[in-house]
């Protein structure tokens, strides 16, 4: 008897597929019975034991079989038949793990190492529920029983002997942070939580800590809604009251076990009109989804799914990489303004961030925040945050090229498609007519490369003018003469016209062998200035002295 696991999760499958193959607790017993019946033959792997783990982020089958080589396809076919999905689509998005790999995977899942939120504690409880349901359905035998008991012991050891959960950023915390990016502080916001399960309770607890104006809980069972609302000092309503009540809420967080959406496009449309287009954030933590995906297209509505929040969590977990990304974003903005003020990063090989146009650029950045010209939340935005705000129509302008421009004009990605223009970044009266910074990254070959010739051929190929021109709609060409080629300009005349102006005055980023270190120095000091923790003069003097030590 051998163990085999088949599954799909947030890493292997998109949300629209994951939500179609979930098994709610009431379905598990029947599914296990059918699984054991259909796959008991040798063609099905001679299956004798089975358990189903089904959560927001994964559906996995753990089985004991005699013929593991036949079981993978049979398990995929079983799920496809049960849930009405295409077998090939499911096989492409799933993974089959033989005995030892399946054991290791179960250990990782229960310990929170394979979760969307690294170290999150809920998954262990979900696996214990899966074990209990499988036992009640008669799906556990000697092999799976031993697997689960050993898995629970390993998970307990991992959590007690390491700090795996100490720094995890939960979905709930990510949801709070996303709302604060849009509304700022939440003291004046009215919040609605749809559902009364563990995930909603966790989210509501995080939001309640921000002391919102009001909290309301909606649930099919009013008693459960009252119980949660009482703990949160809020009020309860029936789920059936949702269509008439939605207009009152600035933030809606939903996570129910419904197999169909409970918040539809029409319901949200009516609420937005009645709110006179005041923004509303809708966070859908459910799988299958509680909110119709079409809601995302509505003006003044910010819809985030569990995968969107997972992306935020991933960024937070990769804090160092996120800091570098943020550093580059803020340095691009700063560099463009330095060019506008005709400043320099270096003079005679020495950094001069605290002089002339380099200092004037920071003064402008600080003043634009004070004047309300710049969104104060943008101090913490990454590039993707900026894109979403801009594509929702909540910013007059953004600083970027093809990435921002093309997606903002894509109806699938933007609410302002067809309304977005592009011009060179403006200059400063009396100093410059336009401004630009070179956002390109260099390509190089390491000194110890064993394939230097092949690497050079590849670099030569992707930087050649024909290849650059072919993909000009994805990324601007590096060849100046390409901007006079009608084929390159076709369909993106405004973009090419603006780029042609900018490429003639392109300002380079700081040129230094220690660019990563310098980037972090600038980011840190620019952030302190923009957060009001230092004056422009103080911050840039500190940056200059730190940069001097790099040389």
Residue with tokens 């809708």: 282
Q: How confident is the model at residue 321 (pLDDT cuts 50, 70, 90)?
A: very low
Mean pLDDT of the chain: 86
Who contacts 536 (Cβ-Cβ below 8 Å, separation ≥6)? Answer: 359, 362, 363, 366, 529
Residues marked active site are found at 56
Q: Kind and range of the H or E element at 194? A: strand 190-194
DSSP 14: -
| Any domain includes 166 | no
* Mode of pairing for the β-strands spanning 350-351 and 346-347: antiparallel
| Any domain includes 490 | yes
Q: How confident is the model at residue 219 (pLDDT cuts 50, 70, 90)?
A: very high
Q: CATH number for the domain including 356?
A: 3.40.190.10
Both 303 and 255 in one domain: the answer is yes
Q: CATH number for the domain including 77?
A: 3.30.460.30
| pLDDT above 70: residue 5 | yes
Among 197-201, 287-291, 427-431, 516-520, the range scoring the smallest mean pLDDT is 516-520
Query: Which pLDDT does position 317 carry in this prediction?
Result: 55
pLDDT in tens, 343-391: 999 988 899 999 999 999 999 999 998 998 887 777 766 666 777 788 8
Both 287 and 387 in one domain: the answer is no
Both 263 and 358 in one domain: the answer is no
Query: Which pLDDT does position 125 carry in this prediction?
Result: 87
Counted domains in the chain: 3
More confident residue, 244 or 318: 244
Query: Which pLDDT does position 458 carry in this prediction?
Result: 93
| pLDDT above 90: residue 287 | no
> Domain end: 299, 315, 331, which one?
315
Query: Which pLDDT does position 322 carry in this prediction?
Result: 46
pLDDT in tens, 66-93: 888 888 889 999 999 999 999 999 999 9
| pLDDT above 80: residue 542 | yes
Does this model's pTM top 0.85? My answer is no
Both 335 and 475 in one domain: the answer is yes
Among 45-49, 414-418, 505-509, the range scoring the smallest mean pLDDT is 505-509
Question: What does the pLDDT average to over 242-267?
Answer: 93
Both 435 and 516 in one domain: the answer is yes
Q: Kind and range of the H or E element at 49? A: strand 47-54
Which runs of E-coded beta strand occur in 315-458? 346-347, 350-351, 425-426, 434-435
pLDDT in tens, 136-168: 999 999 999 999 999 998 888 777 666 555 444
Helix, strand or coil for residue 126?
helix
Question: For residues 368 and 529, is the Cβ–Cβ distance under 8 A?
Answer: no
pLDDT in tens, 163-173: 555 444 467 77
Cα angle, residue 56 at apex, residues 51 and 61 outer, rounded to 5°: 20
Helix %, strand %, coil % for the chain, to 5?
50, 10, 35
| Any domain includes 71 | yes
Both 113 and 22 in one domain: the answer is yes
| Any domain includes 551 | no
Residue with tokens 């003469």: 481
Query: Torsion over CA of 108, 112, 116 and 117, rounded to 10 degrees?
Result: -150
- Convert 430-450 to b/e letters by CB count within 10 Å (16 or more is b): eebebbbbebeeeeeeeeeee
Distance, CA of 205 to CA of 84 (rounded, Å)? 37
> Domain end: 315, 344, 375, which one?
315
DSSP 259: S
Residue with tokens 């607890």: 205
Question: For residues 250 and 221, is the Cβ–Cβ distance under 8 A?
Answer: no
| pLDDT above 80: residue 291 | yes
Both 77 and 96 in one domain: the answer is yes
pLDDT in tens, 180-195: 878 878 888 999 999 9
Both 237 and 103 in one domain: the answer is no
Who contacts 372 (Cβ-Cβ below 8 Å, separation ≥6)? Answer: none
Q: Side by side, which strands form the sheet with 95-97? A: 47-54, 58-65, 2-9, 95-97
> Domain end: 315, 332, 353, which one?
315
Q: Kind and range of the H or E element at 63? A: strand 58-65
Both 380 and 511 in one domain: the answer is yes
Query: Which pLDDT does position 320 carry in this prediction?
Result: 40
DSSP 473: T
Distance, CA of 437 to CA of 439 (rounded, Å)? 6
| Domain that includes residue 242, residue range | 171-315
| Any domain includes 457 | yes
Who contacts 545 (Cβ-Cβ below 8 Å, separation ≥6)? Answer: none
| Cross-strand partners of 61 | 6, 52
Query: Which pLDDT does position 326 carry in this prediction?
Result: 52
């Amino acid at each position: 008897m051998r163990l085999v696991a088949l599954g799909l999760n947030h890493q292997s499958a998109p949300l629209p597929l994951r939500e179609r193959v979930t098994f709610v607790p009431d379905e598990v017993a029947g599914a296990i019975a059918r699984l054991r019946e259909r796959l008991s033959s040798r063609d099905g792997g001679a299956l004798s034991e089975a358990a189903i783990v089904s959560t927001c982020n994964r559906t996995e089958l753990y089985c004991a079989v005699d013929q593991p080589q036949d079981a993978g396809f049979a398990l995929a076919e079983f799920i496809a038949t049960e849930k009405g999905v295409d077998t090939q689509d499911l096989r492409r998005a799933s993974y089959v793990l033989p005995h030892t790999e399946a054991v290791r995977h179960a250990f990782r899942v229960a310990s929170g190492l394979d979760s969307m939120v690294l170290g999150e504690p809920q998954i262990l409880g979900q696996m214990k529920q899966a074990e209990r349901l499988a036992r009640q359905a008669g799906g556990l035998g000697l092999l799976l029983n031993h697997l689960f008991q050993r898995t629970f012991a390993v998970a307990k050891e991992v959590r007690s002997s390491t700090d795996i959960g100490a720094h995890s950023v939960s979905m709930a915390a990510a949801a709070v942070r996303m709302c604060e990016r849009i509304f700022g502080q939440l003291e004046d916001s009215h919040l609605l939580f749809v559902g009364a399960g563990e995930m909603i309770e966790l989210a509501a607890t995080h939001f309640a800590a921000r002391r919102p104006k009001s909290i309301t809980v909606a649930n099919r069972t009013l008693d459960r809604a009252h119980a949660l609302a009482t703990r949160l000092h809020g009020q309860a309503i029936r789920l059936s009251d949702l269509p008439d009540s939605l207009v009152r809420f600035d933030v809606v967080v939903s996570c129910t076990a419904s197999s169909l959406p409970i918040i539809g496009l029409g319901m949200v449309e009516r609420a937005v009109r009645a709110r006179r287009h005041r923004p509303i954030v809708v966070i859908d933590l459910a799988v299958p989804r509680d909110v119709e995906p079409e809601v995302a297209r509505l003006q003044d509505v910010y819809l985030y799914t569990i995968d969107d929040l997972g992306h935020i969590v991933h960024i937070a977990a990769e804090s160092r990489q996120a800091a570098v990304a943020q550093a580059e974003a803020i340095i691009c903005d700063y560099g463009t303004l330095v060019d506008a003020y005709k400043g320099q990063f270096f003079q005679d090989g020495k950094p001069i961030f605290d002089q002339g146009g380099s200092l004037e650029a920071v003064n402008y950045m600080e003043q634009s925040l004070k004047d309300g010209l710049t969104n104060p939340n943008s101090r913490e935005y990454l590039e993707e945050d900026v894109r979403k705000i801009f594509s929702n129509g909540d910013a007059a302008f953004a600083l970027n090229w093809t990435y921002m421009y093309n997606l903002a004009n894509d109806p699938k990605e933007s609410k302002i498609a067809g309304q977005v223009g592009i011009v060179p970044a403006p200059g400063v009266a009396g100093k410059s007519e336009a401004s630009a910074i070179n956002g390109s990254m260099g390509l190089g070959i390491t000194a110890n490369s064993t394939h230097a010739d092949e690497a050079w051929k590849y670099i030569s190929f992707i930087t050649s003018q024909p290849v650059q021109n072919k993909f000009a709609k994805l990324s601007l060409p590096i060849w100046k003469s390409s901007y006079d080629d009608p084929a390159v300009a076709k369909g993106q005349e405004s973009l090419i016209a603006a780029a042609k102006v900018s490429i003639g005055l392109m300002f380079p980023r700081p040129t230094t062998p220690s660019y990563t270190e310098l980037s972090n120095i600038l980011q840190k000091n620019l952030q302190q200035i923009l957060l009001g923790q230092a004056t422009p003069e103080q911050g840039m003097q500190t940056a200059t002295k730190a940069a001097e030590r790099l040389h």
